[in-house]
Amino acid sequence: MNTTVTAAKVFFAGAIPLLSPPLLATCHENLLLRSVQAITNIIATAGLKRPETVMSMDDNCSLLVRSISACERLLNTPIPMSYTRHTARILMLWLMYMPFSLWGYCGWAMVPITALVSFVLLGIEEIGVYIEEPFSLLPLEALCAKLEFGLTNMMADHLLIARHSTETEAMRAIQL
């Protein structure tokens, strides 16, 4: 049950008790896409009366698949380490020689100017390194926990509504 997104492994490890045994038995390598497929099957067999609701849910499932694909592309195509090292070295060389080129124009003012420019450019370079690998920084476990909580509440609400509508239909049948 390997998934390509690391945080998804943690989420689906927690979701395994929630999945039915037949669903687990049919899971293929990409559990994320299998889960979306299961959601699509549930939507198709739910017997929803309004076709626009079904279409909207299918559109949301398609959007989820596109988002999963985008995340997998981000994870599987990182910037090569040699490129990152090369740009960092060039930046350091440029910053090292910048005071010498500013001395004739700024005199001793080149010290704070160089410090400020170095702070800004090295900060941008560091941000670029973090953006290259976003999944290690995002609070995905907390997001998945919130999602699980919301879905559990939605399922409980759905069961209450279904139970209430069944009771209402039974009361109508008794009254007739």
Domain ranges of the chain: 1-78, 81-132
Q: What is the pLDDT at residue 4?
A: 45
Q: Dihedral, CA atoms, 33, 39, 41, 46, nearest 10 degrees?
A: 180
Using pLDDT thresholds of 50, 70 and 90, give the confidence band for residue 3.
Answer: very low
Q: How far apart are CA 37 and CA 31, in angstroms?
A: 10
**Residue 20 scores a pLDDT above 70:** no
The DSSP H or E segment spanning 127 is helix 110-132
pLDDT digits (tens, 9 = 90+) for 29-83: 667 777 788 888 888 888 778 888 888 888 888 888 888 888 888 777 777 778 8
CA geometry: angle 124, 132, 4, nearest 5 deg: 165
Q: How far apart are CA 5 and CA 2, in angstroms?
A: 9
Q: How far apart are CA 112 and CA 135, in angstroms?
A: 36
Residue 78 identity: P
**Residue 137 scores a pLDDT above 80:** no
pTM score over 0.75: no
What number of CA atoms fall less than 13 Å from residue 127's CA on the CB side?
Answer: 6
